[in-house]
Amino acid sequence: MDRDALDALNATLNGQQVTYLGAAHFGPKLNIERFRLANGLDVLLCEDHSAPVVAYHTWFRVGSRHEREGKTGLAHLFEHLMFNETENLPKGEFDRRLEEAGADTNASTWLDWTHYNIAVPSDQLPLVIRLEAERMGALVLKEPQVESEKEVVANERRYRVDDDVEGAINEVLWATAYTKHPYHHPTIGWMADIEGFTTEDCRAFYEAYYAPNNACVVVVGDVAPTELLKQMVDAYAGLAPFELPVEDSWPEPAQTSERRVELTQPTSTQKVAVAYHAPALGDYDHPALAVLNEVLSGGRASRLYNRLITEMELASEVRTFLGPFRDPGLIEVYASGRDSVRAEQLLEVIDEELEKLSREPVPTAELERACARMELGLLGGLENVDGRASTIGFYETVLGRPGAAFERLEAMQRVTPSDLLRAARRYLRPEQRSVVLVRPSRDGQEAA
pLDDT at 447 over 80: no
CA atoms of 256 and 125, how far apart (whole Å): 53
Q: What is the pLDDT of residues 67-91, one digit of tens each?
A: 999 999 999 999 999 999 999 999 9
Q: What is the pLDDT of residues 194-210, one digit of tens each?
A: 999 999 999 999 999 99
Q: What's the whole-model pTM score?
A: 0.94
Average pLDDT, the chain: 95
pLDDT at 1 over 80: no
Which of the residue ranges 35-39, 246-250, 254-258, 400-404 would you say has the lowest mean pLDDT?
Answer: 246-250
Q: Smallest Cα–Cα separation from 182: which of 169, 198, 193? A: 193
Q: Give the Cα-Cα-Cα angle 44, 222, 51 (nearest 5 degrees).
A: 135
pLDDT at 222 over 50: yes
Q: Give the DSSP letter of residue 65.
A: G
Q: Which amino acid is at 226?
A: T
Average pLDDT over residues 297-318: 97
Per-residue confidence (pLDDT) for residue 444, from 0 to 100: 56
Q: Smallest Cα–Cα separation from 162: which of 192, 184, 187, 191? A: 191
Per-residue confidence (pLDDT) for residue 238, from 0 to 100: 93
pLDDT at 145 over 70: yes
Cβ(332)–Cβ(275) under 8 Å? yes
Q: What are phi and psi of 222, to 5 degrees?
A: -85, 85
**Residue 446 pLDDT level (bands cut at 50, 70, 90):** very low
Quick check: is 149 catalytic?
no
* Cβ atoms < 10 Å from Cβ of 135: 22
Average pLDDT over residues 124-128: 97
What's the Cα-to-Cα distance from 294 to each of 99, 302, 369, 382, 398, rounded to whole Å?
39, 7, 9, 20, 22
Element (H, E) at 265: strand 259-265
Q: What is the pLDDT of residues 3-50, one digit of tens each?
A: 788 888 888 887 789 999 999 999 888 999 999 999 999 999 999 999
pLDDT at 448 over 80: no
**Residue 329 pLDDT level (bands cut at 50, 70, 90):** very high
CA atoms of 93 and 84, how far apart (whole Å): 8
- Among candidate residues 33, 47, 67, 79, the one labeled active-site is 79
Burial of 167 (0-12, 13-18, 19+ CB in 10 A): middle
